[in-house]
Amino acid sequence: MPKPIFIIINPYAGNGKAIETWAKLEQELIKQNINFEAKITKKKENLSSEIIDAFGKGTRHFLAVGGDGTLHELINAIMPIWGESENEDTPTIGLFPTGTGNDWVKSQGIDKNIKHFTNTLISTKETYQDICKISYTENSVEKERYFLNIASLGFGGETVENVDKLRKKVSLGKLTFIAGLAFTLFGFKSSRCKVVTDGSEIKFPLFILAVGKGKFFGGGIKILPHAQPDDKQLAISMVRKIPKWKVLVNITRLFDGTYTKNKEVVVLKGKEVLFKSAKKIPLEIEGEFIGFTKRANISLTQNKIKVFVA
């Protein structure tokens, strides 16, 4: 690849395994004579500032070495300076997965094999993906973020919050998410909400609302089996209040996407999703707990971003 790739490494991804993985990836990049500049960042603020600086210097090829959270920071550093309108100066992004969930790459079919992955960079094969934007209110303050995979409200948000708390107390590896999910399930209470999709309104007691462009979240749960990365449509799944025993019975169906056959589930597509609730609802985006909100507006930007693909 003639143009340099700016690589950002999250050393904490994958419970600290990212550094070891990066050392192997770096050797292969040098071996393949790929032009790159790499930065290891230990704070989100540093990650954003490094990307903004590289973008300002003309770099348009970016690679994150980390998990879905690192990708989230990457797109949120790029979008405010690149803009939301269609233009020819389109950046290309990629993710070499070293996180605990790695859900976005599952939808993209990105190869975890280092040699195969570097061959992808050499071939410069790219595809386009739609970009999601969420505006929400937190403590009476209007905020917005961009994302490429999935945002969820309700059970998903509360699970991520509990998983974060659990990680601070004990290290269970991949079992941490399962433990957090079980803890959340038995304490979760549904709240009444209103969801408007392209003008069509639904009111229901919320278990979970998931919206996005990827199929997977939570380390392999196929929450949006009908999602496509570049069809200019948001994939939406709404699950109304459901008995806890029924969630447990459908555990395996969560991972193959067939849970959508349950009567409590509504799946559809749309250009815009408006969410309102009388109570504050937990929100997570790409596996990152964001906070609590009573309102959210999810849509697509006019432009798309390029993605390195196998």
Tokens encoding 302 = 């006019």
Query: Is 71 found in the same domain as 211?
Result: no
Looking from the CA of 112 toward its CB, the CA atoms found within 13 Å total: 13
What is the CATH number for 112? Answer: 3.40.50.10330
61/200 same-domain check: no
Q: Which of 96-110, 201-215, 296-310 has the highest mean pLDDT?
A: 201-215
Q: How many domains does the chain have?
A: 2
Which structural domain, as residue segments, surrounds residue 264?
Answer: 132-301
Average pLDDT value for the chain: 91
Average confidence (pLDDT) over 107-132: 87
User: Does residue 148 share a domain with residue 291?
Assistant: yes
Q: Are 132 and 72 in contact (CB under 8 A)?
A: no
| Higher local confidence (pLDDT), 19 or 43 | 19
Considering the domain architecture, whether residues 143 and 278 belong to the same structural domain is answered as yes
Q: Is residue 266 located within the same domain as residue 190?
A: yes
Mean pLDDT of 136-161: 95
Residue 142 lies in a domain: yes
Phi-psi region of 175 (alpha: psi -120 to 50; beta: other; left: phi over 0): alpha
Per-residue pLDDT of 28-71, as tens digits, reads 999 999 999 999 987 777 888 999 999 999 999 999 999 999 99
C-alpha to C-alpha distance for 243 and 189, rounded to whole angstroms: 11
For residue range 213-233, list pLDDT tens digits in order: 999 998 889 999 999 999 999
Cα separations in angstroms, 138 against 249, 264, 289? 35, 28, 13
Residue of 127, 221, 212 lying closest to 178 (CA atoms): 221
Considering the domain architecture, whether residues 164 and 81 belong to the same structural domain is answered as no
- Assigned token pair, 183: 């803890």
Buried b (16+ CB within 10 A) or exposed e, 261-289: eeebbbbbbbeebbbbbeeebbbbbbbbb
Between CA 235 and CA 237 the distance in angstroms is: 7
Closest CA to 97 of 75, 69, 129: 69
Does the residue 35 lie in any domain? yes
Q: Is 184 in contact with 125 (CB distance < 8 Å)?
A: no
115 and 140 both lie in a single domain: no
Flag whether 307 is in a domain.
no
Min mean pLDDT across 31-35, 86-90, 126-130, 153-157 is at: 86-90
Query: Where does the chain have alpha helices with state H?
Result: 18-31, 44-56, 68-82, 103-108, 114-123, 155-169, 175-187, 244-249, 251-256
Is this prediction's pTM over 0.85? yes
